[in-house]
Structure formats: C-alpha cells, structure tokens
Amino acid sequence: MRVPIRKAGKYTNLKPDAHMTPEKLAEFKSKLEKLKKIRPRLAEEVKILSTTGDYSENAGYQMAKGRLRGINQRILDLEEIIKNAVIIKPKKSGAVELGSAVIVEIAGREKKYKILGSAETDPAKGVISHNSAVGQSLLGRRVGETIKIKLGSKEVIYKIIKIE
C-alpha cells in the first residue's frame, strides 16, 4: 500500500501550548495510562496477524499495524505534552493574567471570560486562549480599562468590569 506524500502545511511544526490547569494535566496523564494499557494487546494482535500470510496482502495485519502505530504516536505526543507542561497558577495581582476570570462589558452586555491555555479552550463556555485576539488584548489590563479589539472587519470595544 502506497502512502501519499504531502507537503508540510503552515501548522506542521507548531509546538502545542504548554500552559494548562492541574485538572487538564491529570486528564492527559489518565489518557496516557489508558493508552499504555491498550498497547500490549495491540502488539500481540499484530504479532498474531503477521503469521497469517504475506504482509503485502494481509489487510488485517496492515490495519492492526496502523492502529498500533497511531497509539504509539499518541503516547509519544502525550508524554511530550506532560513533560513540557506549565501549570497555570493565578497570582491575584489585580491585572488580567493566565487563569483569570474576567467580566467585560461589550455593547452594554456583560460577558465572562476565563483565560487559559490553548488545550482547554471552549468559547461556548467562555473559556478562551491567551493566544486568541481577545485573550492577548486582555492580558495585563486592569479593572476599568477600555480596549479596542479588531475582530475581522470590525472593531469591538471591551471594558473590564471585574477580575476574579
């Protein structure tokens, strides 16, 4: 089976964001342990399927080998993420920082954002990345400051009401 060769894209060599909460780190560790428990069973399956005929025409063997390769890569990725993890500990300095919950006023309506690392973003729940346009603009600001943020073709004015 021939594997297509693709050109590297602009996101190919980006390093994952290392900033995360202790809860997210525990979640990654839990996933890693589950994958490490699955790997021996898959390795045994590959070993058994390797004995049933020619490698090039053995579809079961090829599939099992692909699954094992995927799990091995995921294990390596998780180990790298865990090794490089930077735990978010807000200091309550009075300014917006990683781990802060910020209440802002946008066009007369209040909205609450929690600023965390990229691995934990959930815009629907108000959790944004410190790398996003809004997150970057809010970092280092204090209560009462007004910020103009260009989002797409329009400018939105954010006023910081409270930092938690």
pLDDT for position 11: 67
8 A C-beta contact, residue 158 and residue 132: no
Give the CA distances from residue 124 to residues 19, 114, 145, in Å, rounded to whole numbers and listed in that order: 20, 11, 25
Closest CA to 148 of 133, 129, 131, 127: 133
Domain 101-163 has CATH 3.30.70.20: no
Long-range contacts at 84-87 (CB < 8 A, ≥ 24 apart): 84/18, 85/18, 85/20, 85/25, 85/28, 86/18, 86/19, 86/20, 86/117, 87/20, 87/21, 87/22, 87/25
pLDDT for position 6: 72
The boundaries of every CATH 1.10.287.180 domain in the chain are 19-87
pLDDT for position 80: 94
pLDDT for position 125: 94
Strands 19-20, 86-87: pairing is parallel
pTM beyond 0.85: the answer is no
pLDDT for position 15: 74
Closest CA to 114 of 27, 18, 21: 21
Residue 97, amino acid: E
pLDDT for position 96: 93
Q: pLDDT tens for the chain, 164 residues: list them.
A: 567 777 777 766 667 789 999 999 999 999 999 999 999 999 999 999 888 877 778 888 999 999 999 999 999 999 999 999 999 988 888 899 999 999 999 999 999 999 999 989 999 999 999 999 999 999 999 999 999 998 888 999 999 999 98
The boundaries of every CATH 3.10.50.30 domain in the chain are 101-163
Classified by CATH at the fold level, domain 19-87 comes out as: Helix Hairpins (1.10.287)
